[in-house]
A and B are shown apart, each in its own frame.
Chain A
Amino acid sequence: METPYRPIQFYYQGRIHRVEHAPVTRTLLQYLREDLTQTGTKEGCGEGDCGACTVVVGERVLDQDGREKLQLRALNSCIQLLPAMDGKALFTVEDVAKLLRGNGQLHPVQQALVDTHGSQCGFCTPGFIMSLWALYENYERCPNKETVLDALSGNLCRCTGYRPIVDSVAVAYQQPRAVWDQGPILAALREMAGAPALVYEGGGHRAYVPRNLAELAQLRLDHPEARLVAGSTDVGLWVTKQLRDLGDTLHLGQVAELKLIQVGDDSLDIGAGVSLTDAFACLTQEWPEWADLARRFASRPVKNAGTLGGNVANGSPIGDSMPALIALGARVVLQKGTARRELALEDFYLGYQKNALTPGEFLATIRLPRRHTQAGRLVFRAYKLSKRYEQDISAVCAAFALHLDPSGKILQARVAFGGMAATPKRAPATEGALAGQVWNAATAAAGAQALAQDYAPMSDVRARKEYRLAAAANLLQRFWQETGAPGQAPETPQSLRDFAPI
């Protein structure tokens, strides 16, 4: 029988690289630094939290007019596994100036960082350059400061204090726009797309990278023990930090159907392979109340690599999307072979890191009822508490969704928390205290009282249990103050980000 294996292939520095013998869990960063001796990209933490390893990955996508374009996104090479690179284009700090084919000239984002004194020790700088370059490529005109900060949310700098780096963006846009020929890259991407779906063997294990749902379903049935890998923003750490052997891996990143977002009349279906970046864009469009949580959720590179399905299926008690999804009545569509079943998201979690998936089954879709389909007026908030504003793991993540009739009576209450139990968990006692009542201060107080019946959180590195309980109750108060309290002028600042100095 003909061997099904072929090399991993991706475009880098003017040619298609073919990787044949690397273990299936070899990271992109290891490959760059150790195998290609391209050492511009640095390892700072090996877990996707510092951004020194940031690279840009290019994929061929269609824009809204159906035209082919190159989508460029920054991500962390230290937790990207090589099979996930198959069929993509890679850009590292060594490439940015060379793309312009200038004679030793720096790219505007590089020159601007020199001009604003944005590097000191310089170790984080290559990662910043890649985040800045991705930003530059994605915005033809200088973006606003919030967009800049968001683009830099995955890059730590310990020397500069960030001000000159943030300032460098405007300086880069003052220079003539740098343009370059994407043609050869798109051609290479098309060429690689012609190869059969990847089955790869390296280091004694296989990596399967199916292209469509039917292939995935079959592979999942045939290899139920293979580790599912989506964005590897968590699984990557099993490799780099726990030094675990993952066995065979089954990659979801190229399954076309899983990358679809379908906005139906009644429901919003988000494929399990949709990136967090794209999923949050969609969720925020339907529910603007997602915006703050979406901003604070992980970092931009992690959101570019990670998927909403991965966050949900991983089922961490501190996964930040689930409380809000549960509060909005999300359901999960699970598939095994060709059979599908649907569960309420809260019922998907059976215990600490245990879920309802059976062998051979996988999460296909996250389905939310659309806003207008629900009775009454929705008031909804999702709050995240952590030591740091962005790119931190929640001490407490809260989501409250109430449906109110015109008199202010609560028709339905859904409350869910992260960081308060072994799984993301609904709050039945609190919901019971709210449902049927008029949404007023007394009801909010009663709801806050009931929280202690719903949760017995633990103390850990992120917070003590006393803080978790007290802050959770106060978040319900905050929810009341923001959504129900009388006399709230619409312009009254509600969030710390709304305040200016006196």
Chain B
Amino acid sequence: MNTSALPPVGTPLPHESAALHVTGAATYCDDIRELAGTLHGAPGRSERAHARILAMDLEPVRQAPGVRAVITGADIPGVNDFSFTLKDDPLLAEKEVLYYGHPVFLVVADTHEQARKAARLAKITYEDLPALLTAEAAAAAHAEVLPPVEVNRGDAPAALAAAPHRLQGKTHLGGQEHFYLESNIAYAVPKEEDTIHVWSSTQHPSEVQHAVAHALGYSVNQVTLEARRLGGGFGGKESQPAQWACLAAVAAKLTGHPVKVRLDRDDDMALTGKRHDFHIEYDAGFDDQGRLLGLKVLLVSRCGYSPDLSGPVNDRAVFHVDNAYYLDQVAIRSLRGKTHTVSNTAFRGFGGPQGIFAIETVLEDIARYLGLDPLAVRRANFYGSTPEEGRNVTHYGMTVEDNVIAPLVAQLEKDCDYQARRQAIARFNRENAVFKRGLSLTPVKFGISFTATQFNQAGALVHVYSDGTVLANHGGIEMGQGLYTKIRQIVAQELGIPVDLVRLSATNTSKVPNTSATAASSGTDLNGKASQQAAAAIRERLTAFAAEQAGVAPAAVQFQNGRVTAGERTWTFQELVKAAYNARIKLWESGFYKTPKIHYDSKTMRGRPFYYFAYGAAASEVILDTRTGEYRVLRVDVLHDVGRSINPALDLGQIEGGFIQGMGWLTTEELWWRPDGQLMTHAPSTYKIPTAADLPPVFNIKLFDNANVEDSIHKSKAVGEPPLMLPFSVFFALREAVGATDPTGRKFIAMDAPATPETLLNAIRDLAR
């Protein structure tokens, strides 16, 4: 489409790097032309899940071809830790290894291949120690990385005792590998006067900058972090890249050479954290309509060997146990299991999906128990839509002021012909023994903001050069979501110029400091506002200048389509800028934004952790072969709330991409460990993310007509994470299809996620017993 005449904001412009992507010209960290003398690092890995290191013979490593240095924990000039707390995550384990794969040394060699080969030659003597490998095992052993958290409202035990119906259940929800296509990488180049420049594929440049400084014993102003684009992140490059950036930086300092650490895919999958798997137990009391009267939920997660981001991840799970439903008398307990596995981390949704899965399982079980349509049970539990209706305060004390779930679900129900199809499917299932269909409609309500309030700030720097071209920079990271494209639109809109006049430069801690992670779906909300503010300040100065030149009031000055008009006068943007430069007007500005209204007490878990909520719903239909557990998703309908979209094409991309990624998590993507703690699904040959053939043949996605009630950037809503939860409809449609094999229709279905063919066949066989 010809988009040049449209205003920048609201137009489906292509990704700002699209032409570079398709020609191979987009530069990722590993594509930066290497400086002469560049060396390559590879980690030497533990081959025990939990053990004391008795002896380490690294001589064979040192003697291997091309090896320049072998670095152990003792060699690190600063702190041997890359965690935010600086105490739980050694860069290189020294006395004890805490998971299978735990890096114990770094080999630095002339080539990547030499380093990888040498890394396998160490002879390490271990004394095995007992290892806990699952969340349940950790809970039983009271092994926790952080203290338990409880959120209570009302008297759940009393409500349970008094309820007309009561149901207990449990389920298990597997973890997920991020499988960003670009594995973790960092390239560190030592510079003069003990400074260092590090390119890192990270969503959190400032945290990596700090970690590198600590590892080197530097102050933060000696370290520059830079990232132009990431080959995917999804949360996996929030805290995890620090380890590889620190190791590259340490090696660079110790050898005096530029050093690159690029993880081989198998190393990346074994040595970096994943989505937390959860063990979930519940006790629910409800009325004849399935409305919850009392609820107890236990969430036990596998955090791995250290806290990493497990605290906020599990907090967000607790916050999202309500999903779109009012929980009146409720008691939630969250255990953060410490296991001898890799330390789990952020992943799109950040615990929210696991919390939502818990309540959706509860409601599905209730519907089956009562013989009701699960959608009716869901609806009976929705938050009240108006203050008069009540039932609109979350279990953590936040009033839901922007609730659109009821009209949104009603619209989707109608658009996808839910009721008629549900009847037709029931008929199909009565008539077919081998194949069963399932249809499920599930809602999403997702809280937007970092729960750690201090991260809800952002900075930007906008330069207007005297030729009228614009360079914008901000603290956010481009990892495919189109953040740079949206910022470009926002800045162009503010200056009334076409987007081609605006370029984005690489995110760099020496330009905009103290950045927050590009995470929590907040990239555009935060950096967009900061960039808008910077551009607006420049525009104001240009407005005053133009008004003065034309002898009109500032209010009469207009910026549009690259032209500025003031009364009788009109300039091209470039002409006005040139004149303003000559008149010594400041043409660059920084911007800063902090999210208003939010507050929350992490001790009581009460407050308003979220600025607003994003909403959505999906209906999915599946077909299941009951002989083998194989299945196919046949049709998906999505209605999703992105507020007023800044770029509908990018938002659509986030919705459908998030859907397929979430669907993979719940279906084909299974993590599998050997009994000795080694992850065996450490490559795409064994870990199966969806392919194009898994795309539902009918996939209808619509944006819900809704403006953000809060003053967000152009009234838009964050879109990165919420769609990840839409494919719960796929999982529960599969559960419906499994349930259709039971002629009573009422038996409890034991079915964990992911729903592999094996899981589904087991559930079918279980129902037949």
A residues apposed to B, CB below 8 Å:
30, 33-34, 37, 39-47, 49-50, 52, 92-94, 96-97, 106, 110-111, 113-115, 117, 119-126, 129, 148-149, 152-153, 155-166, 241, 243, 385-393, 395, 460-464, 467, 470-471, 474-475, 477-478, 481, 493, 496-497, 499-502
Contact = CB atoms under 8 A, between A and B. Distances in A.
B434 interface: yes
Given A37-B33, A121-B180, A470-B765, A493 B668 contact: no
B116 A114 contact: no
User: Nearest 5 pairs between A and B by C-beta?
Assistant: A40-B24, A121-B480, A123-B231, A122-B21, A161-B660
* Among B656, B689, B692, residue most surrounded by chain A Cβ atoms (within 10 Å): B692
Interface in B1-53: 12, 14-15, 17-28, 30-31, 33
A496 B437 CA distance: 11
B232 A106 contact: no
B634 A499 contact: yes
6 contacts: A93-B22, A120-B15, A120-B481, A125-B22, A163-B656, A388-B691
Contact of A106 (B23, B434, B630): B23
Interface in B644-701: 649-650, 652-653, 656-661, 668, 670, 672, 680-681, 683-686, 688-695, 697-699
B264 interface: yes
B621 interface: yes
A501 B698 contact: yes
Contacts of B25: 40, 94
Contacts of B142: none
Nearest to A115: B14
Contact of B649 (A43, A117, A386): A117
A496 B623 contact: yes
A158 B668 CA distance: 14
Contacts of A478: 627-628
B691 A153 contact: yes
Interface of B: 12, 14-15, 17-28, 30-31, 33, 111, 113, 116-117, 120, 178-183, 229-234, 264-266, 421, 424-425, 428, 434-435, 437, 439, 479-482, 621, 623, 625, 627-632, 634-635, 649-650, 652-653, 656-661, 668, 670, 672, 680-681, 683-686, 688-695, 697-699, 756-758, 761-762, 765
B694 A388 contact: yes
B680 A461 contact: yes
Nearest to B723: A161
Given A123-B232, A164-B653, 16 more contacts: A39-B27, A39-B30, A44-B181, A52-B181, A110-B19, A110-B23, A115-B14, A120-B15, A125-B21, A149-B692, A159-B657, A161-B657, A162-B692, A475-B628, A478-B627, A496-B435
A461 B758 contact: no
B729 to A, nearest CB: 14
State the main secondary structure of chain A at its contact with B.
loop
Contacts of A471: 627-629, 757-758, 761
A493 B653 CA distance: 33
A117 B650 contact: yes
B23 A502 contact: no
* Among B182, B183, B482, residue most surrounded by chain A Cβ atoms (within 10 Å): B182
Nearest to B648: A117
A218 B603 CA distance: 78
Contacts of B265: 44-47, 50
Nearest to B621: A501
A158 B689 contact: yes
* Among B18, B178, B632, B660, residue most surrounded by chain A Cβ atoms (within 10 Å): B18
Contacts of A125: 21-22, 26
Nearest to A98: B23
Given A117-B15, A158-B232, A461-B680, A467 B762 contact: yes
B688 A388 contact: yes
Contacts of A461: 672, 680-681, 686
B656 A161 contact: yes
A159 B229 contact: no
Given A117-B653, A502-B424, A156 B23 contact: no
Given A37-B33, A159-B480, A163-B699, A50 B692 contact: no
A158 B180 contact: yes
B683 A158 contact: no
* Among B229, B425, B439, B693, residue most surrounded by chain A Cβ atoms (within 10 Å): B693
Nearest to B120: A243
A502 B628 contact: no
B488 to A, nearest CB: 15
A23 to B, nearest CB: 9
Given A114-B22, A501-B634, A160 B621 contact: no
Contacts of B19: 106, 110, 114
A158 to B, nearest CB: 5
Given A49-B685, A122-B229, A499-B435, A390 B628 contact: no
B691 to A, nearest CB: 5
Contact of A388 (B437, B439, B668): B668
A158 B22 contact: no
B255 to A, nearest CB: 20
Contacts of B435: 493, 496, 499
A481 B695 contact: no
Contacts of B623: 496, 499
Given A93-B24, A467-B758, A475-B628, A120 B657 contact: yes
Given A44-B181, A159-B653, A467-B762, A94 B23 contact: yes
A447 to B, nearest CB: 15
B87 to A, nearest CB: 33
A89 B424 CA distance: 55
B650 to A, nearest CB: 7
A149 B693 CA distance: 6
A410 to B, nearest CB: 21
Contacts of B15: 117, 119-120, 122
Contacts of B179: 156, 158
Nearest to B673: A461
A39 B694 contact: no
A325 B445 CA distance: 52
A121 B182 contact: yes
A122 B757 contact: no
B370 to A, nearest CB: 24
Contacts of A165: 692
B232 A385 contact: no
Nearest to B765: A470
Given A387-B756, A499-B634, A122 B20 contact: yes
Contacts of B625: 496
A10 B697 CA distance: 41
A103 B232 CA distance: 31
A39 B24 contact: yes
A153 B231 CA distance: 20
B608 to A, nearest CB: 32
Given A117-B650, A502-B437, A387 B22 contact: no
Contacts of B683: 45, 47, 49, 241
A434 B27 CA distance: 61
A43 B182 CA distance: 8
B635 A501 contact: yes
B685 A393 contact: yes
B181 A391 contact: no
B686 A393 contact: yes
Contacts of A159: 232, 480, 653, 657
B231 A42 contact: yes
Contacts of A41: 24
Contacts of B230: 121
B461 to A, nearest CB: 24
Contacts of A126: 21-22, 24
Contacts of B425: 502
Contacts of A462: 686
A229 B729 CA distance: 46
B670 A39 contact: no
Nearest to B13: A117
B691 A49 contact: no
